[in-house]
Amino acid sequence: MLSSRLNVRLLPSVFALFTMACSGGHRNDQAPAPSASGESPSAPAAPSRMLTLKDSDTMVILAQRFAEAYMRTHPGTTIQVSGGGSGVGIAALLNGTTDIANSSRPMKDEEKARLRETRHQEVAETRVALDALAVYVHSANPVQQLTLEQLSQIYTGRVSNWRDVGGPDMPIVLYSRENNSGTYAFFKEHVLRTADFAANAQTLPGTAAVINAVSRDRGGIGYGGIAYGEGIRHVKLAGADGQAIEPSLENATSGRYPLSRFLLMYTAGNPSALAADFLRWVGGVDAQRLVEVVGYYPLPGVLPPSAGTTPTPPPAVAPSAAPAAPAAPPQ
C-alpha cells in the first residue's frame, strides 16, 4: 500500500508495445524485454542479472529513471524498484531482501551494527545526488524566510501562530512525514536537533501529499524534497549566520543552504558484479544528467559546469497525486 510498487521490469515491455503500436511493429530493439530471456546475445538471462532496489520515497522516481536507462543500455538486466520510505529500504537490506537500499538519510550506526551482527557484512555507501530539503508554505502566506531556530520552535509546538514569526495572526498547521521517511529523520536531526515533533503535527505518507495539504491550507507549513516543490512557495532558511538562503544548486553544493543532503545507495557485503557496475554507472555522466532531469542536483564535479548551473524544472508530479502513491510512474 505504502510501497507504491513500480515494477520497472514491466516498463520496457510496455514501451515495446507502445513503439510497436506506433511504428507498425518494426522496431522494438531499443526496448529489449528482459523477461523474454535469451534474446540478447551479450548477456544471458541469469539470476545474477537481476537487481532489486528498495527505496526512499524521495528517490523512487530517480531510481526508476536510473533503472530504465540502465536496462536500455545494458540489455538482459532486470532492475526492480519499489518505494516505501528510506527505513523500508534499509530494513530490507538488513533482512537481506534487497541488493541495494536507497536512502535519503545516512544509515544509523546501530543499523550498521545490526548488519554486522546478523549477517557479518559491512555496508558500502554511494552518493547518488544532492538534494536540498525545502520548507513550503501556502502561496498566500507572506512569510518569506525563517531561521532554523524558528523552524524548530514551530515544529516542536512552542510557536503556534504565524504572528510570532512575522506573519499574519493565523494558527500554524504543521504537516510532517511518516516516521519511516528519510526526510522525517533528516528534519528531526537537523532542524529539531532530535527533539520530538509536536504531537499535533499531522503526518502524511509522502512529499506529494504534504505539498497537496499545504497548498490547500492557508496556515499550513510542510517540508520535503525540492524536486517535488512545484506549486508551493519555498521559504528561505537562515542558518547560524542569520543569512536567509534560498534552496538552489549553488547554495546546496556550496553548503550555504542549511538543509541540503546527499541521496544515497547502500549495499551490504561484497556487491554483485551487476550491483557494482550499476553503482559505478550511477556516478557517471549519463546518470547524473538524469538526476538533473528528475529535478535534484547532480553530484558536484561530474557534469561540465555549463550544464550543471541551471537545473531543469522538476517533473510534473501533480500535487493531486494520492498520498498512497506519492511517486506516480512518470508517463
Partner 1 sequence: MNDIVGETGPRTLDRANQRDSATTSHADLRASISPRGPLQKRTPTPIWHRIAEKMIAATSVAAVLAIALIFVFIGREALPLLWDHLGMNLRDMIFPRQWTGYDSAVYIWQPVGTPEKFNAMPLFIGSLKVTLLTMVWSIPIAIGAATFVSQYAAKRVRDIVKPAIEMLAGIPSVVLGFFALMVLATWLQDTFGFAYRLNAIVSAIALSLTVIPIIFTITEDALHAVPKSMREASLALGARHWQTTLYVVLPAALPGIAAAVILGFGRAIGETMVVLMASGNAAIMEPLNPATSVRTVTATIAAELGEVAQGDTHWRVLFMLGVVLFLITFVLNRLGARVITRLHKKLTAS
Residues 6+ apart with CB under 8 A from 88: 2, 3, 54, 55, 180
CA distances from residue 78 to 29, 81, 108, 167, 307 in whole angstroms, order as listed: 16, 10, 29, 51, 30
184 touches partner 1 by CB under 8 A: yes
Q: Which is nearer to partner 1, 77 or 141 (CB)?
A: 141
- Minimum CB separation from partner 1 for residue 116, in Å? 14
What is the C-alpha to C-alpha distance for residues 191 and 162, in angstroms, rounded to an integer?
Answer: 18
Q: Least separation, in Å, of the C-beta of 87 and partner 1?
A: 3
With CB under 8 A as the contact rule, the residue among 24, 26, 41, 194 that binds partner 1 is 194
Angle at 194 between CA 161 and CA 126, to 5 degrees: 120
Among 24, 199, 255, 304, binds partner 1 (CB under 8 A): 199
Q: Is 12 one of the binding residues for partner 1 (CB under 8 A)?
A: no
The answer to the question of residue 323 lying near partner 1 (CB under 8 A) is: yes
- Give the C-alpha distances (Å, rounded to integers) separating 234 from 59, 146, 225, 231, 264: 20, 11, 11, 9, 24
Give min distance, CB of 79 to partner 1, in A: 21
Q: What is the DSSP letter of 143?
A: -
164 lines the binding site for partner 1 (CB under 8 A): no
**Minimum gap (Å) between residue 9 Cβ and partner 1:** 21
324 counts as binding partner 1 under rule CB under 8 A: yes
287 near partner 1, judged by CB under 8 A? no
| Spatial separation of the C-alpha atoms in residues 31 and 14, rounded to whole Å | 9
Grouping H, G, I as helix, E, B as strand and the rest as coil, residue 155 is helix
Find the binding residues for partner 1 in span 98-117 (CB under 8 A).
111, 114
d(CA 120, CA 31) in angstroms, rounded, equals 39
List interacting residues with partner 1 (CB under 8 A). 1-3, 84-85, 87-88, 90-91, 94-95, 111, 114, 171, 173-174, 178-180, 184-185, 188, 194-197, 199-205, 212-213, 216-217, 220, 320, 322-324
